[in-house]
Chain A
């Protein structure tokens, strides 16, 4: 890639920092050039997030339909599968799967709910109500 071809398409990262790219100058010698982003990869990232947003929306509907507990919503929202959540909370994966049932979730102690809230970086009240405050 030639230095002048290093893309400068402003993306979400470009607003915070530009990134270093390796490119060649007119003599074919390698040098570094700062890039504020590339459309092609911004679109790849957008697509990944569209997929996540869709998963979150599906999960929310399931919770509203009482087919799953709010745990499912926050797992999708925080991109956590049962294995990551188990590592964060100290629960076993089979326990988490049980807690995904609304009736089991409703009977959880505050102490257990607190563990989930901490893993998701939210308050227990928000865990129950599926409230999301931060961006």
Chain B
């Protein structure tokens, strides 16, 4: 059994799954950057109180699940989304959906994801992939970060769908309803809507740990890391920052490049020069995030490590915060 589906590789799992599923039901113009932008995917948060893999909890993107939900909602496409307590029921629902001809998005954990290299397997439970068929005991898998489609046995798929720990997927599956026509007008509305929401998330979110204020705050904290954590631990912390920023799924530069690509594509639908200016700003921010990563690598590889290096690292983030603040303020002031 194999449903009609074309594998598309993308940078980020959730925006990739969203774009692939939507293109599959006929919304052919919804590229990955458009899905990312309509879903207001860009974010930043640093939560000092929470530890992930013994390091700081840092996110460059919005909370898992929201990109798919927001994008479909903005485009007026109803979605089916279901979690399960029973593994048998989860399996049956998946088979029924496939039998009805729908490729299905699945939330999975990567720790026991057999086709991932071992180095990438952490207990991260918000990965997304598409199941588009079953042959013998093998489910046909379109993992958006992979160049080619792959397979998982029934047991392997069940294991990752029922991975445990934070954000446990509980067998969650989701897919958009078919038969909805997406017009250019709807796309324009969804783009505006996504930009407005992202502006608000990055500029107006209360507290000091998220949005552009969060980037600035993190910059200030990093300057203290050498004294408060010691060289070895602060190296591990910086490595974690770089991993969250550059690891598979970001499209490079902590999703900033993908957002730059989104604004350019948005300009194709809404010819407003401010969108292009915004795109350039996000390219600049992405470049500076990468410059900071190179310096961080110097520190965690032990080539650098003076207080001046940590100050420089912190200053990079403070500079990035200002670039992104200007970029989002520019987007906020667009007269549509």
Contact = CB atoms under 8 A, between A and B. Distances in A.
Contacts of A92: none
A6 B160 CA distance: 32
Contact of A47 (B147, B166, B257, B300): B300
Interface in A1-52: 1, 6, 12-13, 15-24, 28-30, 32, 34-35, 38-41, 43-45, 47-49, 51
Given A30-B261, A44-B242, A79-B122, A17 B252 contact: no
A22 B251 contact: yes
Contact of B164 (A24, A39, A41, A88): A88
B287 interface: yes
Contact of A84 (B165, B248, B294, B297): B165
Contacts of A21: 11, 251-252, 257
Nearest to A40: B297
Contacts, number: 126
B242 A40 contact: yes
Interface in A52-86: 78-80, 83-84
A1 B285 CA distance: 10
Nearest to A47: B239
**Which of A39, A44, A84 has the most chain B CB atoms closer than 10 A to its own CB?**
A44
B246 A44 contact: yes
Nearest to B287: A1
Nearest to B233: A51
Interface string B88-113: 00000000000000000000000110
Nearest to A21: B252
Contacts of A44: 238-240, 242-243, 246, 296-297, 300
A45 B243 contact: yes
B262 to A, nearest CB: 9
Nearest to A80: B123
Task: Classify chain B's interface size.
Answer: 35 or more
B52 to A, nearest CB: 11
B9 interface: yes
Contacts of A39: 297
B219 interface: no
A131 interface: no
A13 B246 CA distance: 13
Contact of A30 (B118, B146, B279, B287): B279
B246 A41 contact: yes
Interface of B: 9-11, 33, 53-55, 111-112, 115-120, 122-123, 145-148, 164-166, 168, 235-236, 238-240, 242-243, 246-248, 251-253, 257-258, 260-261, 264-265, 279-280, 283, 286-287, 290, 293-294, 296-297, 300-301
29 contacts: A1-B253, A1-B283, A12-B117, A12-B119, A13-B119, A16-B146, A17-B146, A20-B10, A20-B11, A21-B11, A22-B260, A23-B257, A30-B33, A35-B252, A40-B246, A40-B297, A41-B246, A41-B293, A43-B239, A43-B301, A44-B239, A44-B240, A44-B300, A48-B55, A48-B240, A79-B122, A84-B164, A87-B164, A87-B165
Question: Which 3 A/B pairs are nearest by Cβ-Cβ distance?
Answer: A87-B164, A30-B261, A22-B257
